[in-house]
């Protein structure tokens, strides 16, 4: 989606040397670019017919919340450890830089509910795949994965397919 590329800023060596961080704040700040992004996410989401949007902390919240509102579905949140107030399922995984753990309230997903997993960026796919594991653990179905940015050269989508992946 060439029209949105100018709104993604490359920040070399953040948060560690060798990482080119994709800064989405120019896209968030521009109402036209954000609207266009959300319309694309909406079109893709509607085709996947999810019952719930799962937003991943923290930049996934910026898109998942707006998307849930636009398609009139509920939102559930995968959060960093210790943030959720109720009982939670937990999953740990490796990141492009470091490792991480995410939690999801144990009653977030009902049996066979279709869940669309949303985040700002797909790199190795570890974060999104971990959320897929949480969805399945709770008896849900992964409707698909939706990202704003994909670092295609890393090939993270291989970790997520054959479930639908879009960016």
| Chain mean position to CA 115 | 11
Q: Quick one: which of 78, 89, 164, 155 has its CA closest to 119?
A: 78
CB of 22 or CB of 79, closer to ligand AMP: 22
Counting contacts by CB under 6 A, is residue 125 touching ligand AMP?
A: yes
CB of 46 or CB of 161, closer to ligand AMP: 161
Q: Which window, 62-70, 75-83, 105-113, 122-130, contacts ligand AMP (CB under 6 A)?
A: 122-130
State the DSSP H helix or E strand holding residue 121, giving kind and residue range, or none if neither. Answer: strand 114-122
Counting contacts by CB under 6 A, is residue 91 touching ligand AMP?
A: no
| Chain mean position to CA 103 | 14
User: Looking at 4, 7, 22, 52, which residue binds ligand AMP (CB under 6 A)?
Assistant: 22
Q: Using CB under 6 A, which residues numbered 60 to 79 contact ligand AMP?
A: none
Query: What distance in Å separates the CA atoms of residue 113 and residue 107, rounded to the nearest whole number?
Result: 12
CB of 102 or CB of 109, closer to ligand AMP: 102
User: Looking at 1, 47, 95, 152, which residue binds ligand AMP (CB under 6 A)?
Assistant: 95
Q: How many CA atoms lie within 13 A of 88 on its CB side?
A: 19
User: Looking at 48, 78, 104, 121, which residue binds ligand AMP (CB under 6 A)?
Assistant: 121
Q: Quick one: which of 149, 147, 146 has its CA closest to 4?
A: 149
State the DSSP H helix or E strand holding residue 48, giving kind and residue range, or none if neither. Answer: helix 31-48
Counting contacts by CB under 6 A, is residue 96 touching ligand AMP?
A: yes
Contact 37, 44 (CB under 8 A): no
Per-residue contact string for residues 1-20; x = within reach of ligand AMP by CB under 6 A: ------------------xx
Contacts with ligand AMP by CB under 6 A lie at: 19-22, 56, 59, 95-96, 119-127, 156
């Amino acid at each position: 989606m060439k029209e949105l590329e100018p709104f993604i800023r490359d920040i070399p060596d953040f948060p560690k040397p060798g990482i080119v961080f994709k800064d989405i704040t120019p896209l968030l700040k521009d109402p036209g670019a954000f609207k266009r992004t959300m319309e694309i996410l909406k079109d893709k989401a509607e085709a996947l017919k999810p019952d719930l949007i799962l937003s991943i902390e923290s930049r996934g919240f910026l898109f998942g919340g707006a998307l849930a509102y636009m398609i009139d579905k509920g939102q559930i949140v995968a959060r960093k450890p210790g943030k959720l107030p109720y009982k939670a399922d937990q999953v740990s995984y490796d990141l492009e830089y470091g490792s991480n753990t995410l939690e999801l309230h144990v009653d977030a997903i009902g049996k066979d509910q279709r869940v669309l997993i949303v985040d700002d960026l797909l790199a190795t796919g570890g974060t999104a795949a971990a959320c897929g594991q949480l969805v399945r653990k709770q008896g849900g179905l992964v409707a698909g994965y939706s990202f704003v940015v994909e670092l295609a050269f890393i090939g993270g989508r291989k970790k997520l397919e054959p479930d639908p992946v879009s960016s």
